[in-house]
Amino acid sequence: MLLIPAIDLKGGKCVRLRQGGMDDVTVFSDNPVEMARRWYDAGARRLHMVDLDGAVSGKPENATVIHDVVDALPDMDIQVGGGIRDDDTIQAYLDAGVRYVILGTKAVNAPHFVGDVCVEFPGHIIVGLDARNGKVATDGWSKLSHHDVIDMAKHFEQDGVEAIIFTDIGRDGMMEGLNLESTVELASQITIPVLASGGVTDMSDIDALCAVEEEGVQGVIIGRAIYEGTLDLRAALQRAAASR
C-alpha cells in the first residue's frame, strides 16, 4: 500500500481545506519545502501536491514552490495537480522534475485531451476523479457534472492513464474515514491502480486499506490526519510495509 502525504498550496503556504471549500482553510506551514522534507524523512517516497489557487484560476499559481520542492527532494516522486489545462504546463512540470501530472477538470470537460497527452507524455498522466454521490465534480469541486465516475474511469483507462485518484468530496478534510466501499467498487471495474483520497483519520483506515490492496486499491493520499496528529506517518508506513 503506497501512502502518499499531501501538500495543498494556497498563496505559497501549506494548507488543508474541508470538503474543498476555499473559505474553510487551515494553514499548517509557511514553508512547503520544509514540510515536504518532514514527510520524506518519515519514510514517504511519493508526494501529492495540489495548486489550489491554480485549480480555481485554471493555470499554475504555485509552480515556483512546487519547483523548489522538486529541487530539494530529487529522490522523491512528486505528483502535481491543480491548474493543469494544456500541454505546455505538463511539459514545464515534467521538465522541472515532477514525476506525474494530475488532470482533473480538463479531463472531464475535454476527455480527448487525456488521450492526446497520454500519447505525448506516456507514463506521466494521472486523472483525478472527485465525486459526490457517484457523480464527478469539477472546477475546484464547485460544479457537479452528470458524468458517472466508473464510466469515466473506464474511458481514461483506455486512453492509457497511469492511475485514477478517487476522492469522495463529502469526506475530504472531514476525518470521518474513507468511503472504502465506493473506492473498492471503482477499483473492481478497472485494471489500472486506484489511489484513494479523502477521509483518512487513523491507523484503522490504513489497516482497512491494506486489506483491500489486492482488489486494486494500491495507494492512498493522506492529508489532515498527518497534520493534526491523529495518524503518525512513519508508523503508518511501517504498518503498510509489514502488511505485504
Backbone phi and psi for residue 121, each to the nearest 5 degrees, phi listed first: -130, 65
121/206 Cα distance (integer angstroms): 32
Residue the block writes with cell 499554475? 60
Which one of 8, 53, 172, 205 is the catalytic residue?
A: 8
Cα Rg, the chain, nearest whole Å? 16
Active site annotation includes 130? yes
Burial class (CB in 10 A: 0-12, 13-18, 19+), 18: middle
Length in residues, the chain: 244
128/126 Cα distance (integer angstroms): 7
Which one of 51, 53, 130, 168 is the catalytic residue?
A: 130
Active site residues: 8, 130
